[in-house]
Amino acid sequence: MFTDMVGYTALSQRNEPLALELLEEHRRILRSIFPRFNGTEIKTIGDAFLVEFQSALEAAQCALEIQRTLAKRNPDVSSEHRIELRIGIHVGDVVHREGDVYGDGVNIASRIQPVAGIGGICISVDVERQIHNALEAGFEKLAPIELKNVEVPMDLFRIVLPWERTPEVRSEIRRGEDQKSEVRRSDVSPTRSKWVWTAAIVAALLLVVIAAWFLFGRYHAPSRSSVAAEAPAKSIAVLPFDNLSRDPDNAFFADGVQDEILTDLARIADLKVISRTSVMHYKSGIARNLREIGEQLGVAHVLEGSVQRSPNRVRVNAQLVDARTDRHLWAQTYDRDLVDVFAIQSEIAKTIADQLQAKLSPSEKSAIERPPTNDITAFDLYVRAKDLIVTAIASSTIGKAGWLKAIDLLNQAVARDPSFFQAYCSLEDAHDQLYQIGYDHTSARLALAEAAVEAASRLRPNAGETHLARARNIYHGYLDYDGALGELELARQTLPNDSRVFELTGYIQRRQQGRYEEGTRTLERAIDLDPRNVLVLRQIAAFNYHRLRRYADAKSAWDRLLAITPDDVIAKADRAQVDLDWKGDTRPLHQMIHAIRATNPAAAQSIADRWLPCALAERDAAAANNALMASGEHEIGLASENVLFSRPFVEGVIARMTKDDAKARSAFTAARADQEKIIQAQPNYGPPLCVLGLIDAGLGRKEEALREGRRAVELLPVQKDGAEGVVMIKYLAMIAAWIGDKDLACEQLAIAIRPPSNLSYGELKLMPLWDPLRGDPRFEKIVASLAPK
């Protein structure tokens, strides 16, 4: 809290003894009030105080008492002897150093104080959220105000003091002495008031005319860009709760409280609830515009809150806001023993359901009322592990060590509470991810995942989370599509808002022959519940829309992703590559690669497998070699598929393109030795066999090449994997083209272009890999059939 005496500088210049006398009296009054509200005086700055409190409510109560005391004192003295203050309050992290405090919380409070006006109290929106229903006073929202050294305009509120005589007493911002912004009472003249009312009436009539014209004269359907207008009435996002505890480690606990409320609400079929991955983009400390958040997430309501934890107590503030109007619908402060935190979460979830008039079935009510655990320490371990898992899935940044750390935390949690059901489900997820990603693709790791599933099944065999865990396990471990989909259908019945159910269902469906379109619709449903999930947006853009040749939709998905992660150079390149595939136009990708290399040279390796196809399509051997150099020793891909090429193989392709047969043969010979080692390690995996087939084709080993290509198709048939099976057929066609069997090449190519297929007009028209078929009427007809209409 910052306080400041109004007019002190001017008074000290006119009458310094009186100014000093009032300054001392002012200090005595305030110092007698601070301790009553647990306020700690940090320092005085001339005629100002900087004070710290343990809660926003105590700070506001203290400010009210100060202004009440002065309001009683001032009428009995002359105007020159009055003590009038402006008070500003903000909540935020502060740093204590050498008896002083620093940080944004302090800086913003000092910027807010001048806006308060004479005898007023101005608070930030963060404070208002926490005290709205707890303070016996009204609140008046001010227009967003630009504060010095604060990047974005802030939403501020003025506390309407109980002793103010009329609602018309309001403050206007003006510049005062010392170039500070001050607030004065309105003194509108009768003439000006008349003009204001006349203008208002004319404006109202004009609005009626315009509204009638739009309604009756030229009505159009609502724009898809206005998400909030279309948001279901019973929709909500639970934003991350602020951690008001002095210990920053309690931020995990605050996240856990928020996530449990979100999980409880997500069980209610009558609601639309946004998933955790998307809401975590709005972590505390980031300025929040609730209207914009509602539009971005496609919801009508937002739940905000804060958590303050002490050794044995917890205070949880929560408030429900209509994101379409910024209207506060409900708020409550819960101050209880720490062990009651799970009861608080259940109460909040049930209250929100009631506020949104959502139907709550007996089974949903029972699930919401069941605490995750009765052990607070186990809960702390669990939420730390879950944070690691969510971060890993969303960004792929923590690597194997992060997954193992999450597993260690979860093992500690279940050791403390062997009945901790949710911890077992997260254990399965972590073990299966290690297995599926390839960090530990061993039977031992798969057995650990299965053990976690069995533990969860013993505790709650019919829970949606149990069915979801079992679906992940049998899909990742055994590629049992039908079995996994059966479990997911059971999971969906009790987890109607869990985007993970729809995401996994979509991934499985697109691997089943004939279900790619259905899988795309399912993934679109997942995005509806998790609209800022970068991983799913990337998947649907790079695979689903691309292989269905829905290129305009792919661009839109990349645009949505880049709005969330604008510095993602790979996404920028992928978005630009759409024009190469769609229209055979290399210019957007060429320009994007040039811009990325010019502004961020370190990113060259990241985009090497986008740079290389562009260079090959443009027949630029020098650029292709540079892209290959940038890739380092890593295998490189030429399309959105799981077929990877070694550096010698790509050198052979570049040599073929430039008609250097001797160099091509030498490169393919070196590539073959490397590829045989890969085949020996994975003898029953189709993609490496496709590469070996091309190498042998390049070396003139026709029979071996065809045998390897056909074996790849047998190992990964379309019937087994509808998406990647088509890729095997594509490479059999390419192998046939390289050995001169154009009949087989065109026959297989005609199959491989059927959607879903990653074969595009741009690839067939421009890439040198298909040069042996150029001029053949059948090939040219296939290329023409893919040309943009």
Q: pLDDT band at residue 273, thresholds of 50, 70 and 90?
A: very high
Alpha-carbon span 464 to 462, nearest angstrom: 7
Q: What is the pLDDT of residues 392-416, one digit of tens each?
A: 776 655 678 889 999 999 999 999 9
Alpha-carbon span 721 to 719, nearest angstrom: 6
pLDDT at position 394: 65
Query: Helix or strand or coil: residue 776?
Result: coil
| Strand order across the 48-52 sheet | 40-45, 48-52, 2-5, 85-89, 121-124, 156-160, 138-141
What is the arithmetic mean of pLDDT over 222-245? 73
pLDDT at position 423: 97
Q: What is the pTM of this model?
A: 0.70
Q: What length does the chain have? A: 789
Indicate the residue type of 32.
S
Q: Is the pLDDT of residue 83 over 70?
A: yes
pLDDT at position 395: 61
* Selected residue with higher pLDDT from 111 and 84: 84
Residue 396 phi/psi, 5-degree rounding, is 55, 40
Q: Is the pLDDT of residue 191 over 60?
A: no
Average pLDDT over the chain, rounded to whole? 87
Q: Is the pLDDT of residue 710 over 70?
A: yes
Name the DSSP class of 124: E
* Selected residue with higher pLDDT from 184 and 365: 365
Q: In which residue ranges of the chain is CATH 3.30.70.1230 found?
A: 2-185
The answer for 103, left when phi > 0, alpha when psi is -120 to 50, beta otherwise, is left
Q: Is the pLDDT of residue 77 over 80?
A: yes
Q: Is the pLDDT of residue 428 over 50?
A: yes
DSSP per-residue codes, 534-597: HHHHHHIIIIIIHHTT-HHHHHHHHHHHHHH-TT-HHHHHHHHHHHHHHH---HHHHHHHHHHH
Q: Is the pLDDT of residue 108 over 90?
A: no
Alpha-carbon span 505 to 103, nearest angstrom: 46
Share of the chain above pLDDT 70, in %: 88
Name the DSSP class of 541: I
Q: Record the tokens describing residue 546, joined without a space.
A: 């691309």
DSSP per-residue codes, 421-434: HHHHHHHHHHHHHH
Pairing, β 156-160 against β 100-102? unpaired
What is the arithmetic mean of pLDDT over 375-391? 92
| Range of weakest confidence among 238-247, 574-583, 751-760 | 238-247
What is the arithmetic mean of pLDDT over 67-74? 90
The answer regarding whether domain 383-496 maps to CATH 1.25.40.10 reads yes
Q: Is the pLDDT of residue 349 over 80?
A: yes
**CATH fold of the domain at 635-786:** 1.25.40
Q: How many CB atoms lie within 10 A of CB 692?
A: 25
Q: What is the pLDDT of residues 15-24, one digit of tens each?
A: 888 988 999 9
Q: What is the pLDDT of residues 138-188, one digit of tens each?
A: 888 887 766 665 555 678 888 988 776 433 333 333 333 333 333 333 333
Alpha-carbon span 141 to 128, nearest angstrom: 10
Q: pLDDT band at residue 724, thresholds of 50, 70 and 90?
A: confident
Q: What is the pLDDT of residues 509-543, one digit of tens each?
A: 999 988 999 999 999 999 999 999 999 999 999 99
pLDDT at position 285: 55
Specify the CATH number for 2-185; select among 2.40.110.10, 3.30.565.60, 3.30.500.10, 3.30.70.1230: 3.30.70.1230
Q: In which residue ranges of the chain is CATH 1.25.40.10 found?
A: 383-496
Q: In which residue ranges of the chain is CATH 3.40.50.10610 found?
A: 228-371
Q: Is the pLDDT of residue 504 over 80?
A: yes
Query: Helix or strand or coil: residue 301?
Result: strand
What is the arithmetic mean of pLDDT over 660-673? 96
pLDDT at position 160: 87
Q: pLDDT band at residue 685, thresholds of 50, 70 and 90?
A: confident
Query: Domain 228-371 belongs to what architecture?
Result: 3-Layer(aba) Sandwich (3.40)
Query: Helix or strand or coil: residue 129?
Result: helix
Contact 115, 170 (CB under 8 A): no
Q: Is the pLDDT of residue 651 over 70?
A: yes
Contact 752, 744 (CB under 8 A): no
Q: Is the pLDDT of residue 210 over 50?
A: no
